[in-house]
Chain A
Amino acid sequence: MNIQFKKGVLELCVLSILTRKDCYGYELVNDISKNIAISEGTIYPLLRRLTKEGLFSTYLKESQEGPPRKYYRLTKRGQEVKDELTNEWFAFVEGVNTIIRGNDE
């Protein structure tokens, strides 16, 4: 997939994962790179930018092994942006699908 396209979608992926549960960075990177081929280094700058934009808050939580980990939690604003992006995404995919299948009806 084209890299320009990926970065916008990446934002939606991160937001969607965080809707389900709070995550630490590695977990997010792992969940995403399992499904999409990305350069993982793109995700941390993205997390930092979105945190600054107020879409996430962060907190430290103890882990069973090793030092505490930094967790990301979606804020209310983050939830709103996620809903917005999700709608845009589905509208986009639907549009592309219609074109690919050929518009019969």
Chain B
Amino acid sequence: MNKDEFLKELDILLNNLPSDEKREILFDYEEHFSIGLKEGKTEEEIIENLGSPKFIAKQYNANYMVNQAESNPSASNIFRAVFAIIVLGFFNLVFVLGPFIGIIGLLIGLFGASIGITIAGISLFGGIATFSVFDPYISLPIALTSNAGGTIFLGIGLTSLGLIFFIGNCYLAKWLYILTIKYLKFNLKIIGR
């Protein structure tokens, strides 16, 4: 591989980055080559010391994706950041992907539960409120219909509980997002290949 091939491969591998950022990075390597050549090194020697474009590009990509996920929080950005960190090395596959899947599972479970409780509350409330109309078509347990007032309050209570639970989950998700970013940054710092 020579200098032009190296830079061209790096250029292609950095396609996920904005073009001005990519240009700055390539500029750094062009400078590195030009100084190295002036000091009497060959292009091959310089490339050997630099390492492969793939190895280099992975690091830029991981840095960029984590920054993106931090400044523009979104589900797709955090997935990209996690993925970019994972491809840095096997260590990350275990220590990043594992906890991340755990967190996603936890959030799905909690959000599912909160939505379930909310729906249960609404159904209870709605079922009792419209019971007189739909009486011939639906059947409700006698325990609920015998004390309609109580059941309505139960419905309202459950709905509120579900909604509060849901809002709490939103805060939890936000907090976990920030925590994940911190963990990814920590990984950027200590993990090489």
Q: Determine if A39 and B49 form an interchain contact, defined as CB atoms under 8 angstroms apart.
A: yes
Q: A4-B192, A26-B32, A70-B28 are in contact. Are A40 and B51 (CB under 8 A)?
A: yes
Interface residues on B, range: 20 to 34
Q: Determine if A24 and B60 form an interchain contact, defined as CB atoms under 8 angstroms apart.
A: no
Interface residues of B in 87-132 (CB under 8 A from A): 91
Nearest CB of chain A from residue B20's CB, rounded to whole Å: 13
Q: Closest B-chain residue to A69, C-beta based?
A: B31
Q: How many angstroms from the CA of A44 to the CA of B56 in the assembled complex?
A: 9
Task: Tell me if A3 counts as interface (CB < 8 A to partner B).
Answer: yes
Task: Tell me if B177 counts as interface (CB < 8 A to partner A).
Answer: no
Q: Determine if A49 and B63 form an interchain contact, defined as CB atoms under 8 angstroms apart.
A: yes
Contact with B along A48-64 (1 / 0, CB 8 A): 11001000000000000
Tell me the dominant secondary structure on chain A's binding face.
Answer: helix
A47 CB contacts on chain B under 8 angstroms: 28
Q: A4-B191, A66-B34 are in contact. Are A39 and B25 (CB under 8 A)?
A: no
Nearest CB of chain A from residue B175's CB, rounded to whole Å: 22
Interface residues of A in 65-85 (CB under 8 A from B): 65-67, 69-70
Partner of A48, one of B31, B63, B190: B63
Q: Determine if B34 and A48 form an interchain contact, defined as CB atoms under 8 angstroms apart.
A: no
Q: How many angstroms from the CA of A42 to the CA of B56 in the assembled complex?
A: 7
* Partner-B contacts on A (CB < 8 A): 3-4, 6-8, 11, 24-26, 29, 33, 39-42, 44-45, 47-49, 52, 65-67, 69-70
Q: A33-B49, A41-B59, A48-B63 are in contact. List 9 more A-B contacts (CB 8 A).
A: A4-B91, A7-B189, A11-B189, A39-B49, A41-B50, A44-B32, A48-B28, A49-B188, A65-B38
